[in-house]
């Protein structure tokens, strides 16, 4: 019984482990043993058979029969991979996934998004929608998500409770917006402060050490926030060294609007910087049309970028220059941006990140703009961990990190992926001069391009088995 693994003292996961600890590097640990203790921490990663001794080295009192062994990653086409990280998702927009018509950002917000979000203050509705979002993202292997909820504090608190209940690691953001918003979906400065404080207190009370859920300050974007509100949030961010998330430079109309609203700031990034909202714990979504100077401020402050290629294609916002950001050492992760983006899957988002990078390369004529399979899977895991300031906790299989993992099986019944036993010989003219990928690299490429949630057969967060499609 797979559920027993999480409940026991110490679990050893056996099988092929694949991860991307560094940009562009797919590391394969064949026939590995990963030892995970009762609090979900990885204690060893080894390739030997002597996992009992390894476990006892860590805890001498462990008896052989209290060590559970999970062999599920040991069959052909099966491997463990770090859980996916969604660095930007709007939970209350999920009912709108796929519905965006011909809109672009600003009319999309007023036509589709604000009406939907405002309706989620009904707690019954919030419960239905948030349950579906968590079930769907977990089933797709998302073990950590940076959520935007709504203005409503009670519905936002419910989202935090559901994450704890279902066991998804999450950043919980109550959306702040006191300006330039419709009458039916706006708050005053005083309400915004009060509700923000209330949600922070709730999340911290439910998970005092922030083991699974943490609050994140969430000014929606500069146009929805008064200078006074952003100033207050900036002071709070600095005082409590809090996480913060917002949108930046997504669309030309939005950028012009920000210029008009904040003439005293040098740029869009300057508006946030002038309000002390930029730090190494700040997540900026989109960052498509940044100037060199804005990119430099973002790099200096250490902010991370949530790259949302499905959203940016769907509502025709543009192509973020991911290589350009990475070259400045700016951490980049992936965001589904439900429902600017239609898909709750980070695997799909990674695939689209690869394609968008190629469209960018066709336009820029810079081959270097292309992202590889290994690189987009890095963004989906380790890159996202950095963006969420959790690079020491999740994102790869390393001693001291948490067991946030998914078991991938490309040979499930009705698999969207077909694997073949044979390979074209390496010296064949068909292969030509292209570098020959390893068996594992080919397998992972097939997963990226043709795989889906059917191939994610089990998911763990903090050592707890949260999805199990096997038995």
Residues near ligand GUN (CB under 6 A) are 90, 105, 109, 113, 220-221, 247, 250, 311, 337, 340
357 binds, among ligand GUN, Fe ion, none (CB under 5 to 8 A by kind): none
250 binds Fe ion (CB under 5 A): no
Q: Which of residues 337 and 409 has its CB atom nearest to Fe ion in the complex?
A: 337
Sign of CA dihedral 101, 103, 107, 113: positive
Contacted by 459, from Fe ion, ligand GUN, none: CB < 5 to 8 Å by type: none
Phi, psi of 255 (to 5 degrees): -65, -40
Q: How many CB atoms sit inside 10 A of residue 44's CB?
A: 18
Those residues whose C-beta lies under 8 Å from the C-beta of residue 332, and which sit 6 or more positions away, are 304, 305, 307, 322, 325, 326, 379, 383, 387
**Residue nearer to Fe ion on the CB measure, 35 or 384:** 384
| 105/133 with CB nearer ligand GUN | 105
Of 150 and 415, which has the nearer Cβ to ligand GUN?
150
Cα(134)–Cα(212) distance, integer angstroms: 14
- Gap between the Cα atoms of 341 and 99, Å rounded: 9
Written as six digits, the tokens of 462 are 């903090």
> Residues for the chain: how many in total?
471
Whether 315 contacts 101, CB under 8 Å: no
Residue 239 near residue 245, CB atoms below 8 Å: no
Could you tell me the smallest distance in angstroms from the CB atom of residue 357 to ligand GUN? 19
Which of 307, 325, 327 has the alpha carbon at shortest distance from 317? 307
CB of 375 to ligand GUN, least distance (A): 23
Cα angle for residues 219, 224, 227 (degrees, 5° grid) = 75
Q: Which residue matches tokens 């609203």?
A: 261
Nearer to ligand GUN, 175 or 457 (CB): 175
Of 86 and 337, the one with the shorter C-beta distance to Fe ion is 337
Nearer to ligand GUN, 56 or 104 (CB): 104
What is the C-alpha separation between 201 and 199, in angstroms, rounded?
5
Least Cβ distance, residue 328 to ligand GUN (angstroms): 23
Residue with the CB atom nearest ligand GUN in the bound state: 340
> What, of Fe ion, ligand GUN, none, does residue 221 touch, CB below 5 to 8 Å by kind?
ligand GUN
Of the CA atoms within 13 Å of residue 332, those in its CB half-sphere come to 27
Using only C-alpha atoms, what is the Rg of the chain? 22
Q: Return the one option of Fe ion, ligand GUN, none that residue 404 interacts with (CB less than 5 to 8 A, by type).
A: none
| Residue 113 binds which of Fe ion, ligand GUN, none (CB < 5-8 A, kind-dependent) | ligand GUN
User: If contact means CB under 5 to 8 A according to the sort of partner, which of ligand GUN, Fe ion, none does residue 142 touch?
Assistant: none
Which option in ligand GUN, Fe ion, none does residue 250 bind, with CB closer than 5 to 8 A by kind? ligand GUN
Site for Fe ion in 314-353 (CB under 5 A): 337
Provide the strand spans (E) within 345-463: 405-409, 456-461
CB atoms within 10 A of CB 229: 22
Q: With respect to ligand GUN, which residue has the nearer C-beta, 286 or 295?
A: 286
- The contact mask relative to Fe ion for 281-320 (x = CB under 5 A, - = no) is ----------------------------------------
Residue 371: contacted member of ligand GUN, Fe ion, none (CB under 5 to 8 Å, by partner type): none
Distance CA 150, CA 152 (A): 5
Q: Are 284 and 297 in contact (CB under 8 A)?
A: no
Q: Rule CB under 5 A: which of 75-104 touch Fe ion?
A: none
The residues with which 277 forms a beta bridge, in sequence order, are none
* Shorter beta-carbon distance to ligand GUN: residue 336 or 406: 336
Question: Measured from the CB of residue 220, what is the shortest distance to ligand GUN in angstroms?
Answer: 5
Smallest gap, in angstroms, from Cβ of residue 250 to ligand GUN? Answer: 5
Q: What is the CB-side half-sphere exposure of residue 140 using CA atoms within 13 A? A: 24
Q: Say which entry of Fe ion, ligand GUN, none residue 202 contacts (CB below 5 to 8 A, set by partner kind).
A: none
The residue number with the shortest CB distance to Fe ion is: 337
Residues binding Fe ion (CB under 5 A):
337
């Amino acid at each position: 019984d797979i559920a027993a693994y999480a409940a026991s003292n110490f679990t050893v996961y056996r099988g092929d482990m694949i991860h991307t600890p560094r940009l562009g590097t797919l590391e394969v640990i064949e026939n590995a043993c990963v030892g995970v203790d009762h609090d979900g921490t990885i204690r060893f990663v080894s390739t030997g058979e002597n996992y009992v001794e390894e476990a006892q080295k860590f805890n001498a009192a462990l008896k052989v029969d209290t060590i559970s062994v999970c062999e599920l990653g040991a069959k052909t086409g099966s491997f463990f991979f770090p859980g996916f990280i969604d660095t930007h998702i709007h939970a209350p927009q999920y009912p709108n996934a796929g519905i965006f018509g011909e809109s672009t950002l600003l009319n999309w917000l007023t036509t589709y998004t604000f009406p939907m979000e405002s309706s989620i203050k009904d707690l019954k509705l919030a419960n239905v929608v948030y349950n579906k979002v968590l079930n769907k993202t977990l089933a797709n292997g998302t073990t950590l998500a940076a959520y935007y909820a709504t203005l409503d504090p009670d519905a936002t608190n419910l989202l935090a409770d559901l994450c704890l209940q279902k066991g998804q690691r999450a950043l919980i953001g109550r959306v702040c917006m006191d300006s330039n918003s419709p009458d039916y979906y706006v708050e005053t400065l005083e309400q915004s402060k009060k509700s923000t404080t209330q949600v922070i207190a709730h999340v911290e009370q439910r998970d005092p050490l922030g083991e699974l859920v943490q609050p994140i300050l969430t000014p929606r974007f500069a146009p929805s926030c008064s200078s006074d509100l952003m100033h207050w949030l900036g002071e709070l961010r600095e005082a409590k060294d809090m996480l913060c998330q917002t949108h930046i430079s997504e669309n030309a109309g939005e950028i012009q609007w920000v210029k008009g609203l904040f003439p005293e700031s040098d740029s869009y990034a300057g508006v946030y910087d002038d309000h002390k909202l930029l730090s190494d714990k700040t997540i900026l979504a989109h960052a498509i049309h940044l100037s060199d100077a804005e990119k430099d401020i973002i790099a200096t402050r250490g902010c991370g970028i949530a790259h949302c290629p499905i959203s940016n294609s769907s509502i025709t916002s543009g192509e973020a220059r991911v290589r350009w950001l990475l070259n400045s050492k700016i951490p980049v992760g992936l965001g589904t941006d439900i429902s600017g983006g239609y898909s709750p899957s980070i695997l799909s988002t990674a695939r689209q990140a690869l394609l968008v990078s190629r469209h960018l390369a066709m336009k820029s004529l810079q081959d270097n703009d292309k992202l590889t399979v290994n690189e987009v899977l890095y963004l989906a895991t380790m890159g996202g961990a950095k963006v969420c300031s959790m690079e020491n906790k999740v994102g790869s299989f390393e001693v001291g990190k948490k067991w946030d993992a998914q078991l991938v099986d490309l040979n499930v019944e009705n698999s969207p992926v077909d694997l073949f036993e044979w390979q074209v010989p390496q010296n064949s003219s068909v292969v030509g001069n292209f570098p020959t990928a390893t068996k594992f690299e080919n397998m992972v490429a097939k997963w990226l391009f043709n795989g889906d949630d059917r191939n994610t057969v089990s998911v763990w967060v903090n050592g707890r088995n949260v999805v199990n499609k096997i038995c």
